[in-house]
Amino acid sequence: MGVRHQHLFPILCFLIAALPLARSQDSIYDHLRMYGLPAGILPKGITEFSVEPSNGRFRVKLPQPCNAKFENQVHYDLNVTGTLSPGKVGELSGVLAQDLFLWFPVKDIHVDLPSSGLIYFDVGVVNKQFSLSLFESPRDCAAVDPDDSQPSLRPDDDGVLHPESLFQGNSVAMVR
């Protein structure tokens, strides 16, 4: 009986030593799932990520800014940051959601725990709700040229729209 336990001890030591290694191999998508969030709120192609276990702060890096298509377009900057908590990503930066022709910064994303089958995007002026099934798996993300000067209408940090920004840098004459 003692001989049998002697063989198990080295195996047990190896497994215990390998546990932190396995945990460090988790992807950002694994971390999202651990917090009850769908993996698809972030796109495919993440090149780097970090998560601070003590407070849930995370940072992901993409190879370039990109857009993913759900019911609406979602834009991801080169760097996306936020704070993970059960069922929620708060203090989000680097994500914009398009509604009609307007782009709105997404401030937080949350799901109901237990799940109602819905996911909510807080864009400051309104909460948008979508089917959770749209976000089950990460989407392909089409690269966006950061130097692209296409006009877009985005609210500033205070939620104020500035339509005149559509014409800055463009050769457009306004006729009265």
Q: What is the pLDDT of residue 129?
A: 94
What would the pLDDT profile of 38-71 be if each residue is shown by its tens digit?
999 999 999 999 999 999 999 999 999 999 999 8
Domains and their CATH numbers in the chain: 2-148 (2.30.240)
pTM for the model stands at 0.72
Q: What is the pLDDT of residue 135?
A: 97
Return d(Cα 108, Cα 111) in angstroms, integer: 10
Residues of the chain with pLDDT below 70 are 1-24, 146-176
Q: What is the pLDDT of residue 155?
A: 54
What would the pLDDT profile of 10-22 be if each residue is shown by its tens digit?
444 444 444 443 3
Q: What is the pLDDT of residue 19?
A: 42
What are residue 142's DSSP bridge partners? 67
With vertex at residue 69, the alpha carbon angle to CA 119 and CA 143, rounded to the nearest 5 degrees, is 125
| DSSP class per residue in 144-169 | --TT-----B---TTS---GGGGGTT
